[in-house]
Copies of this chain bind each other. A is one copy, B any other.
Amino acid sequence: MDEREYLENYDISKYERPSFTVDILVFAIANEKRENYRRLSKKSLRLLLIKRGEHPFKGQWALPGGFVRANENIDATARRELKEETNVEHAYLEQLHTWGDLGRDPRGWIISTSYMALVNGDDCNIESGDDADEARWFEVNYKVINEEKVATDNGYRIQSNIELVLTAGDIELKAILEKISIYENHIEREEINIIESRNIAFDHPKMIEYGLDSLRKKVEQTDIVFSLMPELFTLTELQKVYEIILGKSLLMAAFRRKLTDIVIETEEFTKDAGHRPSRLHRFNNEWRF
């Protein structure tokens, strides 16, 4: 039997098949209102969630996403969903992880791949999702509650709890996750479990935690932050964005030294601040190499 013949007789349905979906973490930076004419507006990291209009988890909040269509490549599904929810076409988009645990969806066997998208909040238009579900930006707050190192027979494990709080106006979603890093016989393994999930659908708390982790790593190692920034920005703004994502404060002098080649000074300045104006900068497209 030759290959053509083999393929003609091949019955793809002989193995059971899962349903397959794509879920997207859309991140943006938001500015809160200025408290007083002098102070800078505070920045926060936002994540887009959709209120589910259907069972399961009806009324709870979930990541935007949907089923992969039969003649659609999975990256295209992610781009399509992003476009549908935010109207943004050109954004940083990256595949993160594929989730295939048993029982992760009460509807049956469904495997999902999560993606991360970084958008400039100003470019987004999230008024109406195509399926009339409500979409909202949630402020992300992440905290490692208690970290503990436990010795085991062949090594040790580090166990920590993570508190994830998402707020939008008076809506507060909260999840507690347990993260266990096991180091035994030189081998590292990670486990993450949902301890508590208040109004967050499916295993999406895990996806969010994983996404935040990926975002932090990427921000430390690459220049993707600029995908979250507007065309012109001050160095202080840029630093604040780094600080919010990394969850630590940076030294101004060192930060600026590092950025000298990556950004370009413009001749424009901020106005109407009750203090010294700040020079606006833009990303240096020639950077790298």
Contact = CB atoms under 8 A, between A and B. Distances in A.
Interface of A: 1-3, 6-7, 10, 12, 15-20, 54-56, 58, 67-75, 90-93, 95, 97-98, 100-102, 106-111, 113, 149, 154-156, 158, 183, 185-189, 222-224, 226-227, 229, 283, 285-286, 288-289
A263 B97 CA distance: 32
Q: Which 8 interchain pairs have the tightest Cβ spacing?
A: A74-B100, A6-B55, A16-B70, A186-B226, A17-B17, A12-B108, A98-B98, A15-B67
A3 to B, nearest CB: 5
A92 to B, nearest CB: 5
Nearest to A149: B289
A68 to B, nearest CB: 7
B111 A20 contact: yes
A90 B19 contact: no
18 contacts: A2-B55, A3-B55, A6-B58, A7-B106, A7-B107, A10-B108, A12-B19, A17-B18, A20-B100, A68-B100, A71-B102, A73-B100, A73-B102, A91-B187, A93-B189, A149-B289, A186-B223, A188-B224
Contacts of A110: 12
A12 B107 contact: yes
A20 to B, nearest CB: 5
B187 A92 contact: yes
Contacts of A18: 17-18, 20, 68, 70
A98 B77 CA distance: 13
Contacts of A7: 55-56, 106-107
Contacts of A97: 95
Given A18-B68, A107-B12, A156-B285, A188 B102 contact: no
A107 B97 CA distance: 25
Contacts of A54: 6
Contacts of A19: 12, 15, 17
Contacts of A113: 98, 100
**Quick one: which of A19, A67, A149, A156 has the most chain B CB within 10 A?**
A19
Contact of A75 (B10, B93, B100, B187): B100
B289 A109 contact: no
Contacts of A155: 285
Contacts of A58: 3, 6
Nearest to A71: B102
Contacts of A74: 98, 100-101, 111
Given A74-B101, A92-B187, A156-B285, 11 more contacts: A3-B58, A3-B106, A6-B54, A12-B108, A15-B19, A17-B18, A17-B19, A18-B18, A20-B100, A98-B98, A183-B288
